[in-house]
């Protein structure tokens, strides 16, 4: 038999492209339309409908970047179309390969009710099925001119720089007959064509499909496609009805629309994207009762509730029917590397509570397909939130080491294990194409042990969601020979079945490090500073407001704190906090953080003044919001300022530089302004490696191969410029000021020792005007460390400093919160910081056999995409070197560095609401219970990595104590052991515990 395969495949391609797909709408009539270009920001429907509309024509330009144009579309169904299915077909200039990224529109009826959205892959509005003929109709289209900012340097990322030129032209405005038989034929042929091309050339099934397609095309009259479509489909029926093999992989298809809460568009546009996507979804559900759609991110549904209450009511109806499924259990799909401990816990608190209160749903699956790596703290938080399962896809993006599992148990810091799934389809925006499904089956790493995987399908990133074509594919692929079996079902059904069939799943211990997007630990420093500052201020506001409420009757600001928390959590979304959004997003974030700081400072001041007592005596009360005692003030308490002097810091000139000495450390700064010696006087040990200099600023070129703001590639380290020339090295008070200029930038540093402190503080101001450069601060430490220890949420994570395997080598840039520690038995050193997350650690053996371990902080980057002006301007960065530090020292100093004492006029002693008698037990939150009961809620954890037995004592009469989950609900399996006004604690390493303490109001 001659091989005519290519001939038939090419024949099918052309027939679909030129004859069959166009015949889906065989008869058309043009529509009339008018347009009103809204000035400024989007307006509500009532304002838009009253606009002054001008007649429009095909080819008209519309939409300057970020603008909104309203189209009033009117038409009449031709009388001769009676009995037909009729649709409006609209193309506003859509980019076909960019669903959700460019021009999009939302269709309204004249009464303002939402119909559905229009986007590049969803261009239709159904008029009737069938029509009577003669129907008149009017639609108002709210069209968003979102620019495409998909690569390269672009000024379009901010309305202030985008310009006023229109971006799009109206391409089509028709009313058309919809030929269902032709549409079904298209779906038949596309499914078979995609499947056929994935089967081996030697497969009998491939040739069977080819011959059926050939027969179909022979039966199709290309001049009368509609009339011959049914006969052509009959030729395909035998191959479409052949069932899948008994061993075929089982795919649970879950409708989805990944919607980035901000990215290449601002937050306000995401609000509209959510409306557009959910309107599409509920419209599909009306026609397809089998369709199930999962939506994460409580914030997005809350936006829908606020801005589109009628549509939100429809969503709730579909949720009650089991079609619309809330998932995720978090306020947003946040980054999980950089949010602080309490913030990551609150992602679950506010997300889970929203779904419970609004939908009556206890979400059990944590849904994070696109975050840039996953903290080792997550499994415990997942369990403590009342969830059971975890899903992500992003680890499939690893560039060095393919992850070895698709279904497994993920074990966190404390030993908690969570059943976890990576969809082997390797995408969270699947079309259910033949290539995707074949890849999922081939790629699935649990073969022989498990048979199931999940595939999220629907256009995403910019939203859009599933289409009727995707549902048609799912129906045909439910039981089709040569393909995995596809079943549309709820995520919980998949997880329950997948967990049940896998008796002994493998275990992965520790963080899920993404071998990509490492630059997100550093990009957009102001956003990261705003986040850290907000987290600290929220801790203080809750602590002092709760203390004042219990002690003085101060009105606890429940609603204000919840609103601020939700704003901070929103900005931890995985393209905001990581610094990978357009300029508009980060400009707004900076302004938001400033407002948050102002509000929280007001709360803190009011609460502290209520506690400090009368200021008439001229005294000062020192408040300590850190979780450890310091300078005579207990953790979480306050006391009158002590007049007791501390040992003075000596500062003297030395060999063109200066020497600082506070009796604990002796620091030498040379004439270049570099730290060449830091002697730990307590241990009698030098910190800086011989012949090296610490606090050495280094600049690298930084042009990654692909995603500028996201990535740093390992080759950046091949070229480095050490900043060793100083313009100024001079004494400044008890410290040393160093000024350097380089490139187009200037850096001013103040190096100080505080009396009684075992740390060298470095306050750095950088006026940064470099492009595609990476600024690091290096500390070569004379210590042999085979691992580093970095703070993460509710504990710390150890990472090797060597590169024995490709897994270790890939971690050339790592994330740490307040500290990063390196040490050997008996002595170590830590770097602490106030807002820096990116670090790297390398080691080298010197000629004498000793080891230098170099720790570097990643201070600033200057990527040009998607924000061409990333991080340009003035930054203040604070960090400190802590010689002779244990892990406990690093924990304590890290907290105190970011939570400085506050001084308030007054004379009162403020006893803490709670105190703990064990240094390893860190209290991360003290607040009043969210239900307004007046109970005091305390969240704490073991922070050193060992077991801890401790006693928590309350500063108020205690009537009861309960151990709760993150949502402050009692845990039946755990009880609190009370002893008077105290609770006995027994914690395993890194265990998180939430206590709900009920005051005894009768005492």
Residues labelled as active-site residues: 370
User: Which residues is 389 bridged to in the sheet?
Assistant: 365, 419
Residue 754, classified by CB atoms within 10 Å of its CB into exposed (0-12), middle (13-18) or buried (19+), is: middle
Distance CA 56, CA 92 (A): 12
As a three-state string, the secondary structure of 824-864 is ECCEEEEEEECCCCEEEEEEEECCCCCEEEEEEEEEEECCC
216 close to 418: Cβ distance less than 8 angstroms: no
Residue whose C-alpha is closest to residue 229's, from 471, 16, 81, 84: 16
User: Which residues is 677 bridged to in the sheet?
Assistant: 668
Distance CA 636, CA 913 (A): 7
Starting at the edge strand found earlier in the chain, the sheet holding 675-680 runs 650-654, 657-661, 665-669, 675-680, 685-686
Q: How far apart are the first and last CA of the chain?
A: 97
Q: Please give the backbone phi and psi of residue 859, each rounded to the nearest 5 degrees, phi first.
A: -90, -50
- The label of the residue with tokens 């997007």 reads 517
HSE toward the beta carbon, residue 185, CA cutoff 13 A: 32
> What is the sign, positive or negative, of the torsion defined by CA atoms of 432, 434, 436, 440?
positive
> What is the sign, positive or negative, of the torsion defined by CA atoms of 882, 883, 885, 887?
positive
Q: Under DSSP, is residue 767 helix (H, G, I), strand (E, B) or coil? A: strand
Residue whose C-alpha is closest to residue 909's, from 610, 624, 637: 637
User: Which residues is 488 bridged to in the sheet?
Assistant: 253
User: Which residues is 512 bridged to in the sheet?
Assistant: 374
CA distances from 59 to 62, 168, 169, 171 (A): 9, 9, 5, 6
DSSP state of 645: P
303 is written with which tokens? 């936006």
As a three-state string, the secondary structure of 241-282 is CCCCCCCCCEEEEEECCCECCCCCCCHHHHHHHHHHHHHHHH
Q: Where are the beta strands (DSSP E) in 643-716?
A: 650-654, 657-661, 665-669, 675-680, 685-686, 696-701
- CB count within 10 Å of CB 729 equals 20
User: Which residues is 814 bridged to in the sheet?
Assistant: 839
82 close to 133: Cβ distance less than 8 angstroms: yes
State the angle between helix axes of 180-198 and 434-443 in degrees (0 to 180), rounded to the nearest 10.
40
CA distances from 978 to 490, 926, 956, 985, 997 (A): 43, 18, 14, 9, 10
CA angle centred on 665, ends 664 and 670, rounded to 5°: 160
Q: What pairing do the DSSP bridges indicate for beta strands 407-411 and 389-391?
A: unpaired
In our burial notation (b when 16+ CB lie closer than 10 A, e otherwise), range 575-605 reads bbbbbbbbbbbbbbbeebbeebbebbeebbe
Residue whose C-alpha is closest to residue 326's, from 490, 525, 563: 490
334 close to 573: Cβ distance less than 8 angstroms: yes
Residue 159, classified by CB atoms within 10 Å of its CB into exposed (0-12), middle (13-18) or buried (19+), is: middle
């Amino acid at each position: 038999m001659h091989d005519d395969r290519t001939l038939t495949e090419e024949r099918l391609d052309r027939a679909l492209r030129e004859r069959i797909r166009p015949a889906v709408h065989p008869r058309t009539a043009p529509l009339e339309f008018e347009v009103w270009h809204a000035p400024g920001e989007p307006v509500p429907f009532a304002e838009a409908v009253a606009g002054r509309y001008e007649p429009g024509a095909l080819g008209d330009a519309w939409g300057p970047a970020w603008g909104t144009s309203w189209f009033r579309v009117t038409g009449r169904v031709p009388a001769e179309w009676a009995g037909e299915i009729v649709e409006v077909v609209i193309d506003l200039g859509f980019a076909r390969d960019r669903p959700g990224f460019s021009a999009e529109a939302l269709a309204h009826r004249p009464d303002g009710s939402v119909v559905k959205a229009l986007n590049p892959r969803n261009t239709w509005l159904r008029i009737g099925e069938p029509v009577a003929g003669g129907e008149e109709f009017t639609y108002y289209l709210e069209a968003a001119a979102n620019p495409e900012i998909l690569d390269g340097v672009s000024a379009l990322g901010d309305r202030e720089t985008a310009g006023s030129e229109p971006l799009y032209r109206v391409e089509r405005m028709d009313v058309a007959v919809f030929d269902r038989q032709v549409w079904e034929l298209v779906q038949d042929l596309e499914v078979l064509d995609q499947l056929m091309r994935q089967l081996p050339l030697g497969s009998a099934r491939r040739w069977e499909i080819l011959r059926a397609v050939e027969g179909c095309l022979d039966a199709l009259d290309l001049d009368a496609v509609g009339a011959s479509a049914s006969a052509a489909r009959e030729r395909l029926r035998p191959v479409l009805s052949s069932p899948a093999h008994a061993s075929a992989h089982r795919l649970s298809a879950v409708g989805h629309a990944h919607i980035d809460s901000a990215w290449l568009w601002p937050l306000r546009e995401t609000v509209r994207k959510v409306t557009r996507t959910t309107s599409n979804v509920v419209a599909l559900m009306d026609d397809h009762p089998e369709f199930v759609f999962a939506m994460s991110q409580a914030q997005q549904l809350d936006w829908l509730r606020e801005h589109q209450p009628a549509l939100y009511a429809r969503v709730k109806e579909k949720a009650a029917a089991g079609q619309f499924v809330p998932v995720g259990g978090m306020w947003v799909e946040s980054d999980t590397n950089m949010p602080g401990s309490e913030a990551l816990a609150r992602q679950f608190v506010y997300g889970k509570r929203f779904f419970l209160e609004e939908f009556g749903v206890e979400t059990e699956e944590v849904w994070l397909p696109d975050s840039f790596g996953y903290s080792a703290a997550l499994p415990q938080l997942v369990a403590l939130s009342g969830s059971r399962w975890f899903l992500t896809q992003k680890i499939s993006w690893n560039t060095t080491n393919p992850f070895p599992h698709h279904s497994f148990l993920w074990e966190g810091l404390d030993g908690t294990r969570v059943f976890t799934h990576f969809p082997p389809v390797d995408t969270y925006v699947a079309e259910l194409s033949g290539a995707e499904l074949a890849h999922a089956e081939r790629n699935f790493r649990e073969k022989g042990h498990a048979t199931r995987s999940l595939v999220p399908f629907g256009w995403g990133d910019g939203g859009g969601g599933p289409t009727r074509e995707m549902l048609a594919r799912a129906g045909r692929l439910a039981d089709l020979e040569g393909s995995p079996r596809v079943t549309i079902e709820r995520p919980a059904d998949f997880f329950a079945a997948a967990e049940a069939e896998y008796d002994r799943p493998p275990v992965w211990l520790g963080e899920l490090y993404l071998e990509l997007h490492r630059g997100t630990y550093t990009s957009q420093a102001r956003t990261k500073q705003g986040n850290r500052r907000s987290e600290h201020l929220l801790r203080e506001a809750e602590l002092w407001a709760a203390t004042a409420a219990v002690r003085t009757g101060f009105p606890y600001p429940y609603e204000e704190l919840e609103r601020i928390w939700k704003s901070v959590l929103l900005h931890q979304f995985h393209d905001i906090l990581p610094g990978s959004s357009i300029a508009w997003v980060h400009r707004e974030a900076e302004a938001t953080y400033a407002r948050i700081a102002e509000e929280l400072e007001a709360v803190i001041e009011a609460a502290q003044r209520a506690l400090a007592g009368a200021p008439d005596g001229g005294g000062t009360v020192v408040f300590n919001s850190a979780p450890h005692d310091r300078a005579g003030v207990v953790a979480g308490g306050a006391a009158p300022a002590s007049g007791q002097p501390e040992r003075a810091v000596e500062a003297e000139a030395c060999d063109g530089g200066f020497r600082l000495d506070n009796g604990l450390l002796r620091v030498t700064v040379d004439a270049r302004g570099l730290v060449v010696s830091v002697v730990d006087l307590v241990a009698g040990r030098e910190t800086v490696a011989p012949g090296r200099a610490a606090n050495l600023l280094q600049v690298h070129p930084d042009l990654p191969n692909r995603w500028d703001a996201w990535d740093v590639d390992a080759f950046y380290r091949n070229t480095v410029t050490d900043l060793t020339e100083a313009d100024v090295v001079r004494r400044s008070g008890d410290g040393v000021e160093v000024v350097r200029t380089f490139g187009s930038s200037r850096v001013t540093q103040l190096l100080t020792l505080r009396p009684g402190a075992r740390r060298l503080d470095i306050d750095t101001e950088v006026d940064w005007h470099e492009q595609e450069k990476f600024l690091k601060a290096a500390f070569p430490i004379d210590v042999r460390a085979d691992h580093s220890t970095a703070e993460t949420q509710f504990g710390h994570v150890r990472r090797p400093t060597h590169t024995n395997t490709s897994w270790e080598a890939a971690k050339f840039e790592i994330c740490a919160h307040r500290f990063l520690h390196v040490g050997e038995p008996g002595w170590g050193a830590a770097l602490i910081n106030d807002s820096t997350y990116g670090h790297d650690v390398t080691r080298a053996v010197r000629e004498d056999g000793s080891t230098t371990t170099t720790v570097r902080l990643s201070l600033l980057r200057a990527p040009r995409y998607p924000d061409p002006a990333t991080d340009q301007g003035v930054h203040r960065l604070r960090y400190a070197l802590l010689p002779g530090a244990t892990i406990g020292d690093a924990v304590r100093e890290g907290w105190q560095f970011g939570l400085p004492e506050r001084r308030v006029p007054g004379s009162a002693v403020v006893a803490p609401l709670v105190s703990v008698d064990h240094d390893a037990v860190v209290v991360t939150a003290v607040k009043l219970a969210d239900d307004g009961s007046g109970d005091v809620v305390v969240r704490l954890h073991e922070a050193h990595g060992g077991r801890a037995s401790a006693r928590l004592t309350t500063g108020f009469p205690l009537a009861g104590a309960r151990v709760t989950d993150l949502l402050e609900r009692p845990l039946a399996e755990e009880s609190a052991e009370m002893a008077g006004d105290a609770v006995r604690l027994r914690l395993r390493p890194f265990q998180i515990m939430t206590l709900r303490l009920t005051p005894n109001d009768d005492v």
